[in-house]
């Protein structure tokens, strides 16, 4: 059974709900659209139904954008380990530090979740060519899932992106266009080229379904923690789809009655110090983030000078009582090595950045020894081995 109901504006702007079976991207006001479900009917769906289901994100298919009779485009994404990082936690004085290790997804990152959902929907909406700008991992995932769906894929990526990201897109048969500039420049070229050709754009938050794949991180976290929320979630933030998706999932799970915690986790958005538009906006008390000029960081996933869903990210941080922290490239590389040395986990710089933020919050007393803390390692180190060379 599917409880997928309709799409609505994320602002909201007063526009009427949109047909769930139609092809929609942004709202008429320019804001991202969100997928909605019939949560009253869905309350009849209970957690015990999950027993025996495959260990992937589609075990929650009732609350994903899939209609009866449809099958997902899947490579086994999701249900990644929640590792109790006892050695790393002990080094910080934390008893309950956990790492949600998204590096074990297909194509080595959490991007697999979003692209599985987006390309599943695109396939059933009649798309023939998928297109997107990328800093790296999203393009790899889009290329892989497009191949699995039998769709063509056009990837636009900054010319200075790491070679493994470019080569992996080509491995899955995607056509790669190298772009001078940042992901925002790649996005402009992708839109200019693809709109006239009818390509299906799966850019971050410019379609409503990548959020749905990413929100399953919160569904899994709740299930793995026996339907309780941790005290803190520390999340590396570029476009912020994962953070937005998890905040959406908290509301869904609470309204379903599956989680009845008195309060949600404090959400911590972590960015690179030379590309920190969310951190700056948070500190200034702004509702929107200004574009970051001269964005630069070794963490490709964090090199996003402006996020279309900035207001949703900032809203989640503030409503949760969380914070936003910027860290240096050097510190995140050191933290990658700490995670690997203590726990045997392959962490990308983005995961290292999350550890640096935790260290700061422990030092200033915000995170206490008995708090439960989840570090999201959003990708693996294998495409980033050059940054640890010589260390």
For residue 52, is it within any domain?
yes
Whole-number pLDDT of residue 1 = 80
What gap in Å lies between CA 339 and CA 377, rounded to an integer?
Answer: 10
Q: Please give the chain's pLDDT, 391 residues, in tens.
A: 889 999 999 998 999 999 999 999 999 999 999 999 999 999 999 999 999 999 999 999 999 999 999 999 999 999 999 999 999 999 999 999 999 999 999 999 999 999 999 999 999 999 999 999 998 999 999 999 999 999 999 999 999 999 999 999 999 999 999 999 988 899 999 999 999 999 999 998 999 999 999 999 999 999 999 999 999 999 999 999 999 999 999 999 999 999 977 789 999 999 999 999 999 999 999 999 999 999 999 999 999 999 999 999 999 999 999 999 999 999 999 999 999 999 999 999 999 999 999 999 999 999 999 999 999 999 999 999 999 987 7
What gap in Å lies between CA 51 and CA 283, rounded to an integer?
Answer: 44
Query: Is 105 in the same domain as 115?
Result: no
For residue 74, is it within any domain?
no
Structure tokens at 92: 């910080």
Residue in the structure block whose two tokens are 């909201």: 12
Domain boundary among 201, 221, 250: 201
Query: Is 305 in the same domain as 190?
Result: no
What's the CA dihedral at 60, 61, 64, 67 to 10 degrees? -170
pTM, whole model, 2 decimals? 0.96
Per residue in 287-340, pLDDT (tens digit) is 999 999 999 999 999 999 999 999 999 999 999 999 999 999 999 999 999 999
Nearest to 97 by CA among 381, 371, 383: 371
Query: Is 179 in the same domain as 225?
Result: no
| Sheet of strand 152-158, all strands in order from the earlier edge strand to the far edge | 175-179, 152-158, 129-133, 200-201
Structure tokens at 233: 């979630």
Query: Is 371 in the same domain as 323?
Result: yes
Residue in the structure block whose two tokens are 């659209």: 33
Q: Is 377 helix (H, G, I), strand (E, B) or coil?
A: strand
For residue 373, is it within any domain?
yes
Query: Is 104 in the same domain as 116?
Result: no
Structure tokens at 94: 């934390």
Domain that residue 30 falls in: 4-63
Query: Is 134 in the same domain as 281?
Result: no
Domain total of the chain: 3
For residue 331, is it within any domain?
yes
Structure tokens at 53: 């289901």
For residue 177, is it within any domain?
yes
For residue 71, is it within any domain?
no
Domain boundary among 166, 182, 201: 201
The answer to whether 132 touches 216, Cβ cutoff 8 Å, is no
Tell me how far the alpha carbon of residue 370 is from its chain's centroid. Answer: 27
CATH number, domain of 166, equals 3.40.50.1100
Going 339 to 344 to 350 to 351, the CA torsion angle's sign is negative
Phi/psi at 256 (5° precision): -70, -20
């Amino acid at each position: 059974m599917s409880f997928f109901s309709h799409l609505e504006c994320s602002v909201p702007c007063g526009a009427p709900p949109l047909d769930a079976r139609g092809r929609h991207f942004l709202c008429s006001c320019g804001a991202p659209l969100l997928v909605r479900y019939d949560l009253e009917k869905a309350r009849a769906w209970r957690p015990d139904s999950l027993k025996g289901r495959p260990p992937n994100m589609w075990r929650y298919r009732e609350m994903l954008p899939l209609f009866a009779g449809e099958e997902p485009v899947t490579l086994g994404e999701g249900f990644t380990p929640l590792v109790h990082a006892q050695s790393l936690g002990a080094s910080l004085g934390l008893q309950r530090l956990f790492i949600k290790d998204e590096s074990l997804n297909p194509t080595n990152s959490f991007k697999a979740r979003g692209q599985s959902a987006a390309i599943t929907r695109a396939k059933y909406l009649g798309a023939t060519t998928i297109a997107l700008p990328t800093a790296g991992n999203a393009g790899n995932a889009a290329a892989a899932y497009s191949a699995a769906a039998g769709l063509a894929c056009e990837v636009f990526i900054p010319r200075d992106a790491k070679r493994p990201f470019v080569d992996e897109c080509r491995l899955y048969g995607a056509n790669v266009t190298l772009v001078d500039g940042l992901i925002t420049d790649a996005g402009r070229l992708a839109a200019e080229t693809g709109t006239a050709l009818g390509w299906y754009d799966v850019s971050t938050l410019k379609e409503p379904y990548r959020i749905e794949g990413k929100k399953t991180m919160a569904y899994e976290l709740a299930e793995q923690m026996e339907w309780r929320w941790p005290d803190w979630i520390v999340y590396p933030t570029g476009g912020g789809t994962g953070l937005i998706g998890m905040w959406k999932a908290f509301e869904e799970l609470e309204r379903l009655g599956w989680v009845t915690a008195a309060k949600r986790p404090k959400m911590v958005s972590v960015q690179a110090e030379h590309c920190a538009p969310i951190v700056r906006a948070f500190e200034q008390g702004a509702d929107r983030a200004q574009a970051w000029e001269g964005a630069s960081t070794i963490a490709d996933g964090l090199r996003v000078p402006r996020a279309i869903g900035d207001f949703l990210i900032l809203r989640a941080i503030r409503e949760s009582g969380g914070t936003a922290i910027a860290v240096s490239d050097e510190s995140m590389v050191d933290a990658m090595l700490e995670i690997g040395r203590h726990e045997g986990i392959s962490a990308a710089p983005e995961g290292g950045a999350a550890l640096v933020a935790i260290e700061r919050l422990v030092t200033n007393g915000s995170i206490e020894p008995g708090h439960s803390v989840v570090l999201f390692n959003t990708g693996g180190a294998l495409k980033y081995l050059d940054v640890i060379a010589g260390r």
